[in-house]
Amino acid sequence: MTMTKAGLPPMKVPVLYEDNHILVVVKPVNMPSQQDESNDPDLLSVLKEDLKVRYQKPGNVYLGLVHRLDRPVGGVMVFAKTSKAASRLAEAVRTRKLDKTYLAVVHGTPKPTAGRLVHYLLKDSSTNTVSSVPKAKAGAKEAILDYKVIGPSELLSLVEIHLLTGRSHQIRVQMSTEGHPLYGDQRYGHGRNRPGQQIALWSSSLSFEHPVKREWMTFSCSPPTVYPWTEWREELELK
């Protein structure tokens, strides 16, 4: 799918699946999931414009944002094309029945090499940063993820992460708290990453029950063929 917005050059957004109820795409890195203060082209607006053009729909096009990815993060996202689908997918997110799996490259090798991390996170909206705080801290929200190292090396490791909660900046903060910040994370990898490095975090898989057909569906995609992902070509089957 090639789309344009406000006279900008075409941008390609791979479509993994589409029917009358949902749209599953691969979000490009460094693109906002929805409009923000930068006013840069965002995925939700671009997809809505594409639907309007392709189906020749007059007026506004409905497309529901079910979940978000941080701007620098790419990978699989699902959108709802009807309000019914949006409501049911939102309930799946709320009840943790939308399974999200990520790939990340972290500094060092977590020990043990597989396990569960539980932290309590607090967001500072004024700085758009999140920190790990004691459970008793007012406003703290529980954050849970399971991780497994699938490609250890001397300095960096490839980690598969399964999110059990969906907190802001969750993976980035939890891994940094454990002493293993993500490669390229300028915000939570102080002193470990160089300016200009792209964060190595990728939404690799989404699984959920179709909101209307009630079939269990799984969609996946590989990260881009750039460093540091290319250090694990075999594990990721990169070409």
Catalytic residue list: 70
Q: Quote the tokens at residue 72.
A: 């620098």
Beta carbons within 10 angstroms of residue 228's beta carbon? 17
- The whole-angstrom separation of Cα 94 and Cα 208 is 12
DSSP strand pairing (11-12 vs 15-18): unpaired
From residue 22, alpha-carbon distances to 30, 36, 204 in Å are: 23, 23, 18
Helix (H, G, I), strand (E, B) or coil at 181: coil
Q: Quote the tokens at residue 194.
A: 């160089």
Do 221 and 14 contact (CB within 8 A), yes or no? yes
Ordered DSSP codes for 55-117: TT--S----EE-----TT-EEEEEEESSHHHHHHHHHHHHTT-SEEEEEEEEES--SSSEEEE
Do 200 and 184 contact (CB within 8 A), yes or no? yes
- Which residues contact residue 58 at a Cβ distance below 8 angstroms, ignoring those fewer than 6 apart? none
- The whole-angstrom separation of Cα 24 and Cα 85 is 13
